[in-house]
Amino acid sequence: REMFWAPNERQFPPFNTEPDKLKAKAQERLTQAGWYYSSCNAGINWTHYANRTAFYRHQIIPRMLIDTNARDSATTLFGHKLAAPIGFAPIGINRIYHPTGEISVAHVARDLNLLYCLSSAGSYSIEDVGEANGQGIRFFQLYQSPDDEQALSMLRRAHASGFQALMLTTDTWQLAWRHNDVDMGNYAFYHEHGVGDIGLNDSVFLQRLKEAGIDPDKEPKKAGAKWMDENIWHGHSHTWAKMPWLMKHWRSISGGKPFCLKGIQSVADAKKAVELGVDGIVVSNHAGRQVDGAIASLDALEKIVDAVGDKIVVMYDSGVRTAADVFKALALGAKFVFIGRLWVWGLGIAGETGVDHVIRALLAEFDILQECSGYPKVDDINRDALDSLPRVA
């Protein structure tokens, strides 16, 4: 058992698995910048490995002689009916992986009736992605600008473009020390290539550019740099004290659409979110990209569900690679599970076709898992479905 806790993927048994091969293929296809950006974690990857190894502590208990002929992976989240409790986590600057970036991912989500979440650091505008997602269900992830007018402008645009909930990311006011990024001087690279230009056509931002004497048509890279530096990943944090302001404005702009916090890892913060009247939280450690040596997201999930699972919608991400991982997070009490790197790899390998393939494969695997393990409905999946080993200190 202790072997599972060694912080090296090659040291525990399921190595060179299909997700590993997908990752290797993505490494072959992506540019160096795309590969470095998508693969890097904080520090020396402890939290990344902790996220993965935490899944091995929980084992599924298959049930026999259950009628699994009629299965259903459908779920409802904030009143929206979705094909599965599996959605696209917000991932920034998708054009670094493929030229069609967010547009392709939004198409796949729409076609499969899966939840799509657009990042504030996206490469295409909120409006273009909203249009590409059409009748799909989409959330908007906010990196909250220190400039209130700028933040409010993003909320208005997200609501107007049909985004159904706001998800504030709370764990990334500053990007962590990520060795690959530091080696590459990547942030300079992103700026230079303008790959994260979601905000460039924002009216408030255009005004700010004017004030700074930057013409975005003549100097798009400089404008992109200003967007990144001043609106996201800027090292300027907001606190709990600001949350009622943001929640009030989002609710009033959107007519009461849900407000969620992403990046919650402690019971204390989950309780604060409940006190604040937030609609949902995403238990996440940003795929291990922020605090190296942090608690595995799945371990945090278990504690947080115990504390607030009956009071607030608890969602999950970080480290999910297979249908069994989705199953385990649901069994521990997550209502919904977001996928990050899996679809990034698909996008990097083959654009829209790649994303479609990876997600369809995951959905098929989940359907077959429901059948083989004897849990034909998502609601059947609860803690009784798991045999959980104690945590090893």
Binder among 19, 34, 87, 92 for ligand FNR (CB under 6 A) = 92
CA-CA distance, 127 to 312, in Å (whole number)? 30
Closest to 294 (Cα-Cα) out of 302, 303, 304, 284: 284
48 is catalytic: no
CA-CA distance, 258 to 372, in Å (whole number)? 35
Output the DSSP codes for 361-383. Answer: HHHHHHHHHHHHHT--BGGG-SG
Q: Which is nearer to ligand FNR, 95 or 376 (CB)?
A: 95
Binder among 19, 87, 90, 258 for ligand FNR (CB under 6 A) = 90
- Count of beta carbons in the 10 Å neighbourhood of residue 12: 16
Q: Which is nearer to ligand FNR, 106 or 320 (CB)?
A: 320
What totals of helices (H) and strands (E) does the chain contain, helices first? 15, 12
Q: Which is nearer to ligand FNR, 89 or 314 (CB)?
A: 89
Is 139:77 a contact under the CB 8 Å cutoff?
Answer: no
- Residue 335 burial (C-beta neighbours within 10 Å; 0-12, 13-18, 19+): buried
Binder among 153, 318, 370, 373 for ligand FNR (CB under 6 A) = 318
Closest to 145 (Cα-Cα) out of 132, 155, 134, 158: 155
Least Å distance, CB 51 to ligand FNR, is 6
Is 264:170 a contact under the CB 8 Å cutoff?
Answer: yes
Kindly indicate which of the ranges 73-81, 269-277, 299-307, 337-345 contains the residues binding ligand FNR, using the contact rule CB under 6 A.
Answer: 337-345
Residues 287-306 that bind ligand FNR (CB under 6 A): 287, 289
322 binds ligand FNR (CB under 6 A): no
37 binds ligand FNR (CB under 6 A): yes
Following CA atoms 226, 228, 233, 235 in sequence, which dihedral angle do they give, to the nearest 10 degrees?
Answer: 0
Least Å distance, CB 187 to ligand FNR, is 13
Binder among 121, 243, 314, 331 for ligand FNR (CB under 6 A) = 121
Q: Which is nearer to ligand FNR, 258 or 340 (CB)?
A: 340
Kindly indicate which of the ranges 104-112, 339-347, 355-363, 379-387 contains the residues binding ligand FNR, using the contact rule CB under 6 A.
Answer: 339-347
Binder among 85, 136, 319, 376 for ligand FNR (CB under 6 A) = 319
Is 90:335 a contact under the CB 8 Å cutoff?
Answer: no
Binder among 115, 260, 341, 373 for ligand FNR (CB under 6 A) = 341
User: Would you please indicate which residues are annotated as catalytic (active-site) residues?
Assistant: 286
Point out which residues bind ligand FNR (CB under 6 A).
Answer: 37-38, 89-92, 119, 121, 141, 169, 262, 284, 286-287, 289, 317-320, 339-341, 344
